Amino acid sequence: MRPSSLQKREAALLAAERQFLSTGYESVTMDSIAKECGVAKQTLYSHFGSKRALFLELVTTKTVAARRAVPAPPAFDPAADPRPMLRSLLIAQLDAVMTPTVLGLRRLVIGELTRSPELAEALYEQGPKRGIDKLATLIAELRDAGAVRVDDPERAAAQLNWLVMGEPVNRAMLLGDDAIPTPDEIEAQVDSALDVFFAAFGAGSGAGA
């Protein structure tokens, strides 16, 4: 894609993001997006095909960007305390979700679920599922090193993910951006979740998944 085409695409996505998040999906039109970003409507259709396809591209792009903002865990050291590594990953994952843009897109996608289930599928596959998969890989390494007692790393990862995400995501989704936790609250949420996780699955707990 030529630089000028990339610029038009990015301008269209920025305009679409602002309009969708400020007024909702139904009230936005390709005309209103074209007018705001200064791109011909026909050019928008040539890039995206339809408003729904543009929205899908926006959801996918923002979800992937949030996921990539989470740094990869450092190389695993079997002799190291596993908690700081898990803590760092989980804080980054929760912080990536707790943004007005990501939460706003989630609300819009849920509202469009019956008409466009492909939007929710894209968000889930590129966001929560990838995050849990990354966590499961790390938990499997900890299990193999004897740091945790887990029979099913994927299930344990899903359980830990929701110990971290469940309450803050529900609050922010339902109560709005004012309910987004502060950095200190995010750290406290992760610490509490890890207390539960290691009580259940720590090397000395005698528990499995």
Q: What is the DSSP string of 115-144?
A: T-HHHHHHHHHHTHHHHHHHHHHHHHHHHH
Phi, psi of 28 (to 5 degrees): -85, 140
Residue 182 to residues 70, 163, 176, 193, Cα–Cα distance (Å) = 18, 17, 14, 17
Q: Assign 14 to helix, strand or coil.
A: helix
Q: Is the pLDDT of residue 209 over 50?
A: no
Cα–Cα dist 150/156, whole Å? 7
Interval 196-209 mean pLDDT: 76
Burial 141-156 (b: 16+ CB within 10 A, else e): bbbeeebbbbeebbeb
Cα–Cα dist 70/28, whole Å? 31
Interval 45-67 mean pLDDT: 91
Q: Which residue has the higher pLDDT, 38 or 206?
A: 38
pLDDT band at 2 (very low <50, low <70, confident <90, very high): low
Interval 190-205 mean pLDDT: 91
Q: Assign 103 to helix, strand or coil.
A: helix
pLDDT band at 137 (very low <50, low <70, confident <90, very high): very high
pLDDT band at 4 (very low <50, low <70, confident <90, very high): low
Quote the crossing angle between the two packed helices 82-97 and 153-175, to the nearest 10°: 40
Cα–Cα dist 136/53, whole Å? 32
Residues 75-125 have pLDDT tens digits of 777 778 899 999 999 999 999 999 999 999 999 999 999 988 999 999 999
pLDDT band at 1 (very low <50, low <70, confident <90, very high): very low
Cα dihedral: 190, 191, 192, 194 (round 10) = 80
